[in-house]
A and B are shown apart, each in its own frame.
Chain A
Amino acid sequence: MYRYDDFDAAFIRARNAQFRAQVERRIDGSLTEDEFKPLRLMNGLYLQLHAYMLRVAIPYGTLNGARMRQLAYIAERWDKGYGHFTTRQNIQFNWPKLRDVPDMLDALAEVEMHAIQTSGNTIRNVTADHFAGAAADEIEDPRPVAELLRQWSTDHPEFQFLPRKFKIAVTGSPNDRAVTKAHDIGLRMVRDAAGAPGFEVIVGGGLGRTPMIGKVIRDFLPKADLLPYVEAIVSVYNLLGRRDNKYKARIKITVHEHGAEKIRALVEERFAQLRPQFSGVDQARLAGIEAHFAPPDFVSGPTDAYATERDTNPAFRSWSDTNLAPHRNPDYAIATISLKAHGGTPGDATAEQMRVMADLAERYAHDELRISHEQNVVLPHVHKSDLPAVYAALAKAGLATANIGLISDIIACPGMDYCALATARSIPVAQEIATRFGELRTEHDIGPLKIKISGCINACGHHHVGHIGILGLDRAGVENYQITLGGDGTETAAIGERAGPGFAYDEITPAIERLITGYLDLRSGPEETFIETYRRLGAAPFKAALYPESTRRNAA
């Protein structure tokens, strides 16, 4: 994991001192709320429905035990004893007081963390594959590049007041676990003909009210050209992006309005101008950063304990079926800790649970933790013989839900419970669906299925790329939920299609149930997943399951 050097540490100290002064100047009136707003946003401080919210970056989703423990401490000391992990590998504290925030930031700095650029119209926390450095299918660990991008984008003088927020995601694997096609810039690691790693550069993806799949503007970008190329893209966008209409300000609209060809030409021209600025100092830094991400010293030893436990403990077997992923070292596994207990708030963890996860990371996972964009926590390197002990500890802390990738592993945005922009509740919808399928005990039979829920058109819950997407709207003061089908956030990215008229709050869970019953009837066998069946048959039979009356009416 990356450790700050003196420069990073001094930077954070200076930045926190600046923000402390800005908070004081806001309180004494030197700064108007309008002027303070972009400054607090640059430091991760939002004004929510009921209170301020502090969004802390977990760069590329990587943490260690000490950092997780500090998050637990912050949650207890200045918040209500829990935190909420988000779809962009951040953690949010929902109840801080303005005056306490500078102290919270100092506490974060003690463990080399910050809240810089987690909001505002600037380059946001760079996200990466949560299995980075552990996945069996990886070309290279994308995190060193993500850290380089973090340093480059931090306090970048040109890009603190962009037309709109700007999100970058990096993946080092052909299997895209970082939703790169739904980001302002997506970087997908590929190899050139000679085998050298570089990036496919995708621009202009995004969800929100106008969902777009990003366009490839460079098939292969050598690694050494990354910073000038990304700088060229953001620089072109800064002048070209629309500032007259907030809803048309994201780069996806710029790309859409000007065309990918024109954007590519402008970027290449700008890149030619910027490339000489990067004389290789950045590559020397990258080499230094890469050293921080050297793989841990994997231990070798028998894995019989794992096999035995699977044979004798059905609960463990079920958990290991769903929550483990293949590690590049066959004696190891990647274990995902579900923050989606049936009926709980997706992504919430109590301070106590954070400490349990910190302990487990230190004891069994080479002191590494990851936060996934699916709002779960990952122990990336667990020796298989340790899995029974890990499972037992998780079970004791209420963290052993065996549902990763299943119907109750729902992404939901905060919605009406916290968010000032919400038009409907989303957390309670997720809770009800998860509880229902938990009772039915059918989710393991249903198999892989992604439900994603947003509480308004801004789509923070990524509903467009859910196999089943749920969007909560407000229709004349009443919550109304639209269902989309067939979305996909991976390398085969697709935007879901609207199924038909929306449903009232109390109709949504039965509607999902009809949809699932329909799928179980339609699938060719238990191994055909929901999305595969949908792709084979199209939307019609799913719509028929969802709207039985209208089908009957049409038939009559």
Chain B
Amino acid sequence: MRVRQLKDLLAGRLMIAFAIFSSLLVFLIAIALYWRSKPILEAKSLSDLLLGSTWLPFQGEFGFYPFILGTLYVTILAMIFAVPLSILSAIYLAEYAHENLREKVLPLIDLLAGIPPVVYGVFGVLAIVPLVEYIAPVIGKLGIPFLRAESYSTGFSLLAGGIVLAIMVFPIIISISHEVFRAVPSEIRDASLSLGATKWQTIKHAVIRTALPGIAAAIILGFSRAFGETMAVLMVVGNVPSVPKSVFDPAYPMPALIANNYGEMMSIPLYDSALLLAALILMLVILLFTLAARLVLIRIERSMAHG
């Protein structure tokens, strides 16, 4: 009896300790990153670091601007492709598809989320990059801003990164927004339909409206996934540290910067500190977005539970 109780007590304590440890880990990492990036923050002003465009570590120039823009552009591009497509897919699955189809497609989509990023990277290099190389001269001639091809595009570009990232965030946005649509009470649909609205009017004016906060959360989660994604993007985006002027230009997002350079040429002063600052910025942005999305989702769950 005594031993059993002791075990019970120990197990409880141990689990609490692990739980606390894993949540502390986030703070530990943040503090460590801050501590290691302190030298560069002391040597340079934050605005110089964030808005400087020259990246010449040998000469002590650490301008993050091209990397920040590269990350933003590639993420935004990915969202431009992913959001409409995944929301429409989620609407189709939740509102139109027959149960049979839904039950077959959803697991497949979840499977998509489980494929390792490097596989997406290979797929990007083999399929997307040549495609972009092929279409760049055609679309580039049209002279649309951001879609110009000034010089020859190898295909390793913002666009390739955006497409590969879009494919990677599809599953997240689809499966969360599908859940959100399913959670919209059927009374809302009844109300709209019984007034003579068509199915599409009902979805457009009543269902989406009810689901809006949840869709926002799904998009934010997709965004933070895209923002931090490293491997797949690194393989297709070209990695040239300059501000891209067109989607056919190469870019150099921050995760790629860190992954490509950390551990090499560490003898350069402040180099290591600069890379860890990039990591800190990435982490904080993603943390913020994820937190915001979770809060929205929790609020939705509560309001659904309370009727």
Whether both chains belong to one complex is answered with no
Residues of A within 8 A of B (CB): none
